[in-house]
Amino acid sequence: MTKAELINQIAEKSELTKKDAEKAFSAVVSTITEALVNGDKVQIVGFGTFEVRDRKEKQSKNPQTGETITVPAKKAPAFKAGKALKDAVNA
């Protein structure tokens, strides 16, 4: 499903205009992004949890040359599905 298709579904189910649905969708995404940038966790009960996880520095190989390189430590966004979402997908 694309962003446009998702916005159409939101508009249809909430009886909002597409323009208002897009504003609402953008507000949700930007709010979640801001929270993650600030190091906060976003938990939506019944859906899941968005959080930032630290990845350690690691050794890897360049597939073209076989040379060992160091991949620096970084932060990565992560999503963990909630029980209700898992149950709905597996129903």
CATH of 48-91, one of 2.40.37.10, 3.40.50.2300, 4.10.520.10, 3.40.50.150: 4.10.520.10
Instruction: Please report which confidence band the pLDDT of residue 91 belongs to, taking 50, 70 and 90 as the band edges.
Output: confident
User: In whole angstroms, what is the distance from residue 53 CA to residue 73 CA?
Assistant: 11
Strand order across the beta sheet in which 42-44 lies: 42-44, 48-55, 74-81
Residue in 48, 46, 72 with CA at minimum distance from that of residue 58: 72
- Integer-rounded Cα Rg, in Å, for the chain is 19
**pLDDT of 75:** 96
Buried b (16+ CB within 10 A) or exposed e, 33-58: eeebeeeeebeeeeebebbeeeeeee
Section 65-69 average pLDDT: 93
